[in-house]
Amino acid sequence: MRDSYREELDDIRACLVEMANSVGSQVSLATTALLDADVTVADRVIAGDAPLDATRESIEQRCFNLIARQAPVATDLRAIITAMRIASDLERMGDLAEHIAKVARMRFPDSAVPQEVRPVFLEAGHVAETLVTKAGTVIAKRDVEAALELEDDDDAMDKLHRQLFREVLSDVWPHGVETAIDITLLGRYYERFADHAVSVARRVVFLVTGERRVTTAP
Amino acid sequence: MRDSYREELDDIRACLVEMANSVGSQVSLATTALLDADVTVADRVIAGDAPLDATRESIEQRCFNLIARQAPVATDLRAIITAMRIASDLERMGDLAEHIAKVARMRFPDSAVPQEVRPVFLEAGHVAETLVTKAGTVIAKRDVEAALELEDDDDAMDKLHRQLFREVLSDVWPHGVETAIDITLLGRYYERFADHAVSVARRVVFLVTGERRVTTAP
């Protein structure tokens, strides 16, 4: 009984890691669609969101069944509820990648991103991919150290976000209000993507250590 | 045993309704802070967010203990997990009200909202308050009809959101890029607030009917 329980929980964890990998591909492709104004890639991202929703639903159902069948308590119960929440974070990250792809699609054949801010979005895409890859590692290995690194990457994303606003608000911004709106929303999507990655890491840290907050080493 | 379980679940539900009421006050005050450029009210909203976070945590802990103690299955288990998720939606709605208040605070003593779009934000504030009030009713009475109304209110919010973009993108928009960024983010906050209210309603409908999607009556 307990063995099959462990197996099922390990398998759910493997599904979460796979889900994190898919979300990483989605945000990477979405950034490509955005920077290259590539509508085919944008469509691929948009089509790739439904499978993520289905995975989330399947993970939730399996967690639910596990609780109903095994009546776990304490850490075991917490592990299952954490898995449900992580699935929910990852699904939301997938939605945000889709939002990015939709902005790229909406402006096609033009690019939503003017030359001046391309490097910022290129970097935001890299940071987003790194964040979700590390989140996958944190889930797979319950790695508290990797969770700490993730907070630093999130700081990097916040810096990029501020840099974006500086560019758009500079006196020489020649691209008008529509582009400013696109960039504001895109910046927000990447920022929220990073927030959810941090949330995944914090949930794992809480599960492992019982501490609610991640604090950086002294 | 079962009676104390029912009592505890009823009490958790009452807490969720109270939490919805608090979130309603928060978004109403945030809209006032925004439209009146009132920094005292903005600060009140910002200070009011921590108690909502604490309520969410308390509800989660109670749900967790209930599962661990009573080992519920089927609908009972689903009701508790739904309560946890609703608490999470409501907390996020509180965050969004706080975000609105922070924009008001950042632009004080100026107003973040120019005259042309004041009516849109006034209406968005009303719709947001209506949505969370109805969400409270849906939770309290498991009222599937009220849940359907809520979808209509969400459509109203989407219309306001589109109207906002039309105003900002009109040829005669005189307020420049910074104000356009503020308004884009504010619009997004109200829209997400509405999305979470709809999510609360859908969770209750799913719990009551077992149907994942709310469909409007023919």
Q: A168 and B177: CB-CB below 8 Å?
A: yes
pLDDT of residue B176: 85
Is A214's Cβ below 8 Å from some Cβ in B? Answer: no
Q: Residue B216: pLDDT above 70?
A: no
Closest CA to B133 of B156, B149, B122, B121: B149
For A68, which of B77, B180, B184 is closest by C-beta distance? B77
What residues contact residue A111 under an 8 Å CB cut-off, 6+ apart? A34, A35, A36, A37, A104
Is A172's Cβ below 8 Å from some Cβ in B? Answer: no
Q: B168 and A177: CB-CB below 8 Å?
A: yes
Q: B169 and A185: CB-CB below 8 Å?
A: no
Q: Residue B197: pLDDT above 80?
A: yes
- Which of the residues A62, A65, A67, A70 would you substitute to probe the B interface, choosing the one with the greatest number of B C-beta atoms within 10 Å? A67
The size of the A-B interface in CB pairs under 8 A is 50
- Read off the tokens for B99: 């975000």
| CA atoms of A173 and B28, how far apart (whole Å) | 35
Q: Residue B86: pLDDT above 70?
A: yes
Tens of pLDDT, residue by residue over A89-142, are 999 999 999 999 999 999 999 999 999 999 999 999 999 999 999 999 999 999
For B177, which of A67, A84, A169 is closest by C-beta distance? A169
Least confident window among A2-11, A73-82, B1-10: B1-10
CA of A215 to nearest chain B CA: how many angstroms apart?
19
Closest residue in A to B172 (Cα) is A177
Q: A180 and B185: CB-CB below 8 Å?
A: no
Residues on chain B touching A61 (C-beta within 8 angstroms) = none
Tens of pLDDT, residue by residue over A140-198, are 999 999 998 999 999 999 999 999 999 888 877 888 889 999 999 999 999 999 999 99
For B64, which of A81, A84, A184 is closest by C-beta distance? A81
| CA atoms of B70 and B4, how far apart (whole Å) | 10
Q: B181 and A178: CB-CB below 8 Å?
A: no
Structural contact between residues B169 and B180, judged by C-beta atoms closer than 8 angstroms: no
Residues on chain B touching A78 (C-beta within 8 angstroms) = 64
| CA atoms of B139 and B201, how far apart (whole Å) | 8
Name the pLDDT band for A212 (thresholds 50, 70, 90): low
Least confident window among B41-45, B131-135, B165-169, B180-184: B165-169
Mean pLDDT of A58-69: 96
- Read off the tokens for A157: 């994303």
Q: Residue B212: pLDDT above 70?
A: no
Q: What is the 3-state secondary structure (H, E, C) of A139-177?
A: HHHCCHHHHHHHHHHHHHHHHHHHHHHHHHHCCCCCCHH
Complex ipTM value: 0.93
For each of the domains in chain A, give its residue range(s) and CATH number, in order of start. 2-209 (1.20.58.220)
For A185, which of B177, B178, B188 is closest by C-beta distance? B188
Q: A64 and B81: CB-CB below 8 Å?
A: yes
- Read off the tokens for A72: 């776990």
Q: Residue B215: pLDDT above 80?
A: no
Name the pLDDT band for A214 (thresholds 50, 70, 90): very low
Name the pLDDT band for A26 (thresholds 50, 70, 90): very high
Compute CA A185 distance to the chain's CA centroid, rounded to the nearest angstrom. 16
CA of B186 to nearest chain A CA: how many angstroms apart?
11
Place of tokens 């989605």: A26
For B74, which of A68, A73, A180 is closest by C-beta distance? A68
Q: What is the 3-state secondary structure (H, E, C) of A66-87?
A: HHHHHCCCHHHHHHHHHHHHHH
pLDDT of residue A217: 41
Name the pLDDT band for B217 (thresholds 50, 70, 90): very low
**Percent over 70 (pLDDT), chain B:** 95
Tens of pLDDT, residue by residue over B121-173, are 999 999 999 999 999 999 999 999 999 999 999 999 999 999 999 988 887 78
Is B71's Cβ below 8 Å from some Cβ in A? Answer: yes
| Helix and strand counts by DSSP (H, E) for chain B | 7, 0
Residues on chain B touching A68 (C-beta within 8 angstroms) = 73-74, 77
pLDDT of residue A213: 56
pLDDT of residue B127: 97
Mean pLDDT of A27-39: 98
Closest residue in A to B176 (Cα) is A177
Closest residue in B to A57 (Cα) is B212
